[in-house]
Chains A and B, each alone.
Chain A
Amino acid sequence: MNDTSAASILVLFLFNIIVYNIPLLYGTVGEIITEKAGSLNLGVEGTMAVGAMFGYLAGAWTDNILVGLVVSFLTAALCGLLFAVLTVSLQANQNVTGLTITTFGVGLYFFIGKGVGQNWPTMQQAPGLSAAFGEIHIPVLSDLPVVGKVLFSHNPLVYLGLAIAVLAWWYLSCTRMGLKLRAVGENPGAADSVGVNILLYKYLNLMLGSGIMGLGGFYMALNMSGSFEGSNCWVNGYGWIAIALVIFANWNPLYAILGTVVFGFFNTLQVYAGTLASAFPDGLGWLNAVPPHLFKALPFIITAIVLVVSSIRNREGSGQPAALGLNYFREER
Chain B
Amino acid sequence: MKPKQPLFHVVKRDHVSRGQLVLAYVLAVVIAVAVGAVLLTVMGVPFGAFYQKMFTLGLLDNKFAYKNVENFIKLFVPLLITSLALALAFRMRFWNIGGEGQFTLGALCAGAVAMQLGDSLPRIVVLLLMALAGMLGGGLYGVIAAILKVRYGTNETLLTLMFNYMALYLLAFFGETRGAWNFFLDPQSPRPRFMTFPEGAQMLTIPLGKFSLNVSLLVALALCAGIFVYLKYTKQGYEIAVVGDSPNTAKYAGMKVGAIVIRTVFLSAALIGLAGAFCVSSAGVLSTSLTNDVGWTGIIVAWLAKLNVLGILVASALITVLQYGAQAASVTYSSVDANFADLLQGMILFAVLAADFFTRFKLARSAHSGEVAK
Is B343 within 8 A of A111, CB to CB?
yes
Q: Which residues of B contact A297 (CB under 8 A)?
A: 165-166, 169-170
Contact bitstring A276-308, B, C-beta under 8 A = 1, else 0: 000000000000000101101100110110011
Choice from B9, B43, B300, B303 contacting A115 with Cβ under 8 Å = B43
Q: Which residues of A contact B297 (CB under 8 A)?
A: 103
Is B343 within 8 A of A108, CB to CB?
yes
The number of residues on chain A lying at the interface, defined by a beta carbon within 8 Å of a beta carbon of chain B, is: 55
Q: Which residues of A contact B354 (CB under 8 A)?
A: 85-86, 90, 92
A212 close to chain B: CB less than 8 A:
no
User: For residue B297, which residue of chain A has the nearest CB?
Assistant: A103
User: For residue A297, which residue of chain B has the nearest CB?
Assistant: B169
Q: A115-B335, A291-B173 are in contact. Are A91 and B158 (CB under 8 A)?
A: no
Q: A91-B360, A297-B166, A311-B155 are in contact. Are A107 and B299 (CB under 8 A)?
A: no
A87 to B28, CA, bound (A): 17
Query: How many Å from the CB of A235 to the closest CB on chain B?
Result: 14
Q: Which residues of A contact B170 (CB under 8 A)?
A: 293, 297
B220 close to chain A: CB less than 8 A:
no
Is B97 within 8 A of A42, CB to CB?
yes
User: For residue A102, which residue of chain B has the nearest CB?
Assistant: B296
User: For residue A332, which residue of chain B has the nearest CB?
Assistant: B12
Within 8 A of A (CB), among B46-72: none
Query: How many Å from the CB of A243 to the closest CB on chain B?
Result: 7
User: For residue A85, which residue of chain B has the nearest CB?
Assistant: B354
Query: How many Å from the CB of B41 to the closest CB on chain A?
Result: 11
Query: How many Å from the CB of A214 to the closest CB on chain B?
Result: 17
Q: A95-B157, A114-B336, A243-B161 are in contact. Are A311 and B152 (CB under 8 A)?
A: yes
Q: A95-B299, A100-B350 are in contact. Are A307 and B176 (CB under 8 A)?
A: no
Is A101 within 8 A of B158, CB to CB?
no
Choice from A89, A103, A296, A300 contacting B296 with Cβ under 8 Å = A103
Choice from B166, B299, B345 contacting A300 with Cβ under 8 Å = B166
- Can you list 17 residue pairs at the A/B interface with Cβ under 8 Å? A42-B157, A85-B354, A86-B353, A90-B353, A92-B354, A95-B157, A99-B300, A103-B296, A107-B339, A108-B346, A111-B43, A291-B177, A293-B170, A296-B165, A296-B169, A311-B152, A330-B10
In order of increasing CB-CB distance, the 6 nearest A-B pairs are A104-B346, A107-B342, A107-B343, A90-B357, A110-B339, A297-B169
